[in-house]
Amino acid sequence: MAIVETVESDGRRRLRVASPATEQPIGDLPVTTGDEVRAAVARARRAQPAWEALGFDGRAAYVQKALAILIRRQEELIDVIVRETGRSRFETVMMEIFPACDSLGYYAKNAGRILGDRKVPMHLLKTKKLLITYRPLGVIGIITPWNGPFILSLNPSVQALMAGNTVVLKPSEVTPFSGRLVGDLFRDAGLPEDVLTVVEGDGETGAALVEAGVDKISFTGSVRTGRKVGETCGRNLVPCTLELGGKDPMVVCADADIERAAGGAVFGAFMNAGQFCCSTERVYVIESVADEFTRRVVEKTKALKLGKEGEFDIGPMIWPKQLETIERHVADALEKGARLLSGGRRATEVGNLFYEPTVLVDVTHDMAIMREETFGPILPIVRVKDEAEALRLANDTVYGLAANVWTKDEDKAIRLAKGIFAGSVCVNESAITYGAVEAPFGGRRTSGVGQVNGETGLRGYCFAQPILLDRFGTKDEHVWYPYTADKTKMLQRVIGWLWGTRVGRWLG
């Protein structure tokens, strides 16, 4: 059964989408062809200089207007996202609308400060002045997944736009109506034509965008697709950020607040039904508190309510294929000796695409559930004898997206955080770094390349162009022609003084 399928109508491919909660049709829309993608990129390129020329304040005015529209029309947007993802309204506001408002507001307000020209004092070349300017790259291609269909499309778009680029956005084919809300929002804010274009379709459209001559690709999605995108970008010498999957560990120390840690584990693992790149997918808990922690986790898990309308906690799997991965991982774990403490089955009484939040113990790293991204509501718990074992196991993975550590000792927390090979670490909090706009966000190892968000992310949509200015306007420079033996000696004397004496080293 497909929640999205590609159909042919009047010689054109169309995406036909149904709700993962009710399986009722939502609608269909035309797939953008490769030629149309290339034309959109060409138009975006023509629109870019005028957009850049507006300056930070001019661009911010449109972004602030989009924010005002988002606030005013949020119920309408929530309806679209809820229909397409099956999530609760609360989760939609928390995961999509709140961070979208923050992204629009923050970058509108701060991009000028972060990307404004910077004078940098020269430590050595005192006869020169250095100005660092952040020049937009040009046209940014943004390709996004279905698990946060609105925010993951909006957030990179806002950053790229505020940096002075134009954007061609390709949202996931699984949730195209939520992705296209980004285009609607900016259109209604009066954004000049072709500054942001949404193209629709599956991998074919995405691949066409990567090859369409853009100046950067900002990709969020699976490792498998990320590799393909990275290969193409490498061949075409196009910079890219790849925000990919994870298998995030959680470490619970003996001195942790066990009630808070248990609540954090349940939220971290089951938020968005586990369809979150920074989901807690592995827990390592110190033996002495493992029973108490596990008891509280199971109690909280059993209290969660699956549903599709009104007030509920857990919605369906948005992408039906995800259920196959979940079932394969759980079956493999049980076959190899894991024990189920809760869940472990589809909740067909609620709907075909619902899976019960599941707690597993006696899991080992021989099981797929501890090695591959599950992307579902599964929480496997491992008892460890000490923090060293927790760290060793936490790092026993090909991924490195995020992690979380639970202890009352802040020094220990920071030491453990630095020991975990992950793009970001939260302490006494589940992985919420993506929502902290100031924090650079990205993965290590197979979890990604580059970072988005904050100052680092914003600068990533630019080329840092240094402009070096001569200060004194002398008629010539010592190093200019003619080259002579005297000049060589003089330069060597300078080297000897600068790096061979204490005063020189202090000055240099």
Helix intervals (H) in 54-141: 55-72, 74-85, 89-92, 98-115
Q: Rounded to the nearest 5°, which phi and psi values hold at 148?
A: -135, 65
Q: How far is the CB of 327 from ligand NAD (least distance, A)?
A: 17
In the complex with ligand NAD, the residue whose CB is nearer, 77 or 223, is 223
Within a 10 A sphere around the Cβ of 342, how many other Cβ atoms? 17
Within a 10 A sphere around the Cβ of 191, how many other Cβ atoms? 22
The residues in 283-342 that bind ligand NAD, with binding defined as CB under 6 A, are none
Contact (CB, 8 A) for 220 and 246: no
Q: How far is the CB of 323 from ligand NAD (least distance, A)?
A: 13
The three-state (H, E, C) secondary structure of 89-114, written as one string? HHHHHHHHHHHHHHHHHHHHHHHHHH
* Catalytic one of 277, 278, 426, 462: 277
In the complex with ligand NAD, the residue whose CB is nearer, 48 or 147, is 147
d(CA 74, CA 365) in angstroms, rounded, equals 44
d(CA 102, CA 436) in angstroms, rounded, equals 9
- Is 41 a binding residue for ligand NAD by CB under 6 A? The answer is no
> What is the separation, in whole angstroms, between the first and last Cα of the chain?
68
One residue of 88, 103, 147, 430 binding ligand NAD per CB under 6 A: 147
In the chain, count H helices and then E strands.
17, 19
Q: How far is the CB of 481 from ligand NAD (least distance, A)?
A: 52
278 counts as catalytic: no
Contact (CB, 8 A) for 172 and 179: yes
Bridge partners for 361 per DSSP: 339
One residue of 19, 48, 153, 220 binding ligand NAD per CB under 6 A: 220
For residue 415, what are its two tokens?
Answer: 């030491």
In the complex with ligand NAD, the residue whose CB is nearer, 184 or 202, is 202
- Is 356 a binding residue for ligand NAD by CB under 6 A? The answer is no
Q: Candidates 27-35, 40-48, 79-87, 139-147: pick the segment binding ligand NAD (CB under 6 A).
A: 139-147
Contact (CB, 8 A) for 205 and 36: no
* Catalytic one of 84, 173, 211, 243: 243
In the complex with ligand NAD, the residue whose CB is nearer, 166 or 453, is 453
Q: How far is the CB of 37 from ligand NAD (least distance, A)?
A: 11
- Is 373 a binding residue for ligand NAD by CB under 6 A? The answer is yes
One residue of 30, 34, 112, 203 binding ligand NAD per CB under 6 A: 203
One residue of 225, 358, 397, 404 binding ligand NAD per CB under 6 A: 225
- Is 177 a binding residue for ligand NAD by CB under 6 A? The answer is no
Residues 151-170, one symbol each (x = binds ligand NAD by CB under 6 A, - = not), give -x-----------------x
**In this structure, which amino acid lies at residue 69?**
I
One residue of 243, 248, 356, 372 binding ligand NAD per CB under 6 A: 243
Contact (CB, 8 A) for 360 and 381: yes
277 counts as catalytic: yes
**DSSP calls for 204-233:** HHHHHHHTS--SEEEEES-HHHHHHHHHHH
The residues in 409-448 that bind ligand NAD, with binding defined as CB under 6 A, are 443, 448
d(CA 48, CA 500) in angstroms, rounded, equals 50
Q: How far is the CB of 378 from ligand NAD (least distance, A)?
A: 14
CA 241 from centre of chain: 10
One residue of 164, 245, 357, 450 binding ligand NAD per CB under 6 A: 245
Q: Which of 240, 248, 192 is nearest to 215 (CA)?
A: 240
Residues that bind ligand NAD (CB under 6 A): 143-148, 152, 170, 172-173, 202-203, 206-207, 210, 220-222, 225, 228-229, 243-246, 277, 373, 375, 401, 443, 448
- Which residues are tagged catalytic? 243, 277
